[in-house]
Amino acid sequence: LEKDVVVVIKSTVPVGTNALVKRRFDQELVGKKAYVVSNPEFLAQGQAVNDALYPKRIVIGYEEPEVRKVMEEVYLPFSRQIVFTDLISSELSKYVCNNMLALKISFMNEIASLSDCVGADIECIKEIMQMDPRIGTSFLNPGIGYGGSCFPKDTIALSRFAKNELDLDLDIVNAGIKRNKLQKTILYRKAKERFGTLKGKNIALIGLTFKAGTDDLREAPSLVIIDALIKDGARVVAYDPLLDLINKKNINREVVFIKDFEEIVSSNDIIFLINDGLGLKPEMFTDKIVFDGRNNFKLDQVDVLKEYHSIGRKSIIN
C-alpha cells in the first residue's frame, strides 16, 4: 500500500470476522494502516437496486474515530439515517434482522397449522394482527416456508455460531428453523391426506422459485415438494417462465417442464401453486383441484374450482 486505506466489508460475515481482518492487516502492513469498517448491506432479492438507492438504514461499524468522517462523506448523497456502532454490533445486526424476519414467517406458518386444526381463518387473523402497529404488516403471510440465499443461511449460521463458539442454545431461532423445514412439506402432506396415495397422480407445479419475481431456486420449497411427490410415485410437471436451462439442471430430472401455461393447466387435474405474485386468478383453474401454497385466492372467489386447499384456512370442495 502507498497510503493508509479504509477497507469496507459489506458481506454478511460471522461475528468477529471484521476484527480478524483488522488484526491481519495490522500484522502484515508496515508503515501503513488499514482501517476496517463493517457496513452490511440490507438488500431484498428482487428489489436490490431500489434498496441500494433508497436504503431504510445504513449501518457502519468502526473502531478508529478517523473512519467516521470518511464514511459520512461516502454516504453524503443518501439522506437516510446512519447508525454508527462498533464492529461486532454491526456484524450481529445483519444476522438479527434476517433472523427476526425469518422468525415472523415461521411463527405465522405455525399459527396457520393451528388454524387448520381448529377451523380458524389465518387470513382474518393476519388482518387483525396487522391493525396493531407494534406487530407491523410485513412478513406475516402464511405459506410453504422461506428459501433463498439469506434466511436459511443466516438462521443456521447464527445458531451454529452461538452453540459452537459460546455454547449457547438459541432456542427460538432453532424452533424457527425446525418449523420452516416442516413447512416446506405442507402441500405434499395436504395432498397425501386428501388422496391417501399419490402414486400415479399427475401433479402440476406452477412457479418454482423461492420467491416471485426471481429466478432463484436456492433452498426453494418447491425442490422439497418435488422430491417428496416423486418419491411417492407421482408424475410431476412444472411451469415457471423465469427459470433458464441452468437453473432447471438443479431440479429432479424426472420433472417434465411445460412451456405453455394453458397446456399445463388443461392437461392436469391437480395443481400446486408454489408462488404468489404471478397474476393468477381462480378462473384459470376451472374444475381443478388446487393446492395453494401462498393463499393466492380469497375463499369467496374459488367456487369455479373443484377443490381448493390453502394454508391455514378451511378446504373448499364444490
Q: How far is CA 263 from CA 238, 244, 256, in A?
A: 11, 19, 13
DSSP secondary-structure letter at 212?
T
Map grid coordinates 482501517 to a residue. Answer: 35
Grid cell locating 43: 438488500
Helix, strand, coil in percent for the chain, rounding step 5: 45, 15, 45
State the amino acid at position 192 in one-letter form. Answer: K
Strand partners, 202: 235
Grid cell locating 117: 386444526
Catalytic entry in 97, 117, 124, 150: 150
Question: Residue 61: which of 43, 42, 35 has the closest Cα?
Answer: 35
**Strands 202-206, 270-273: pairing kind:** parallel
- Adjacency order of strands within the sheet including 289-292: 256-257, 235-239, 202-206, 270-273, 289-292, 307-309, 316-317
| Alpha-carbon span 94 to 153, nearest angstrom | 12
Per-residue DSSP letters for 138-177?
A: SS----S---SSSHHHHHHHHHHHHHHHH----HHHHHHH
Question: Residue 292: which of 272, 306, 313 has the closest Cα?
Answer: 272
State the amino acid at position 188 in one-letter form. Answer: Y
| Alpha-carbon span 112 to 309, nearest angstrom | 13
Per-residue DSSP letters for 57-118?
A: -EEEE-SSHHHHHHHHHHTTT--S-EEEE-HHHHHHHHHHHHHHHHHHHHHHHHHHHHHHHH
Clarify whether 150 is annotated catalytic: yes
Which are the catalytic amino acids? 150
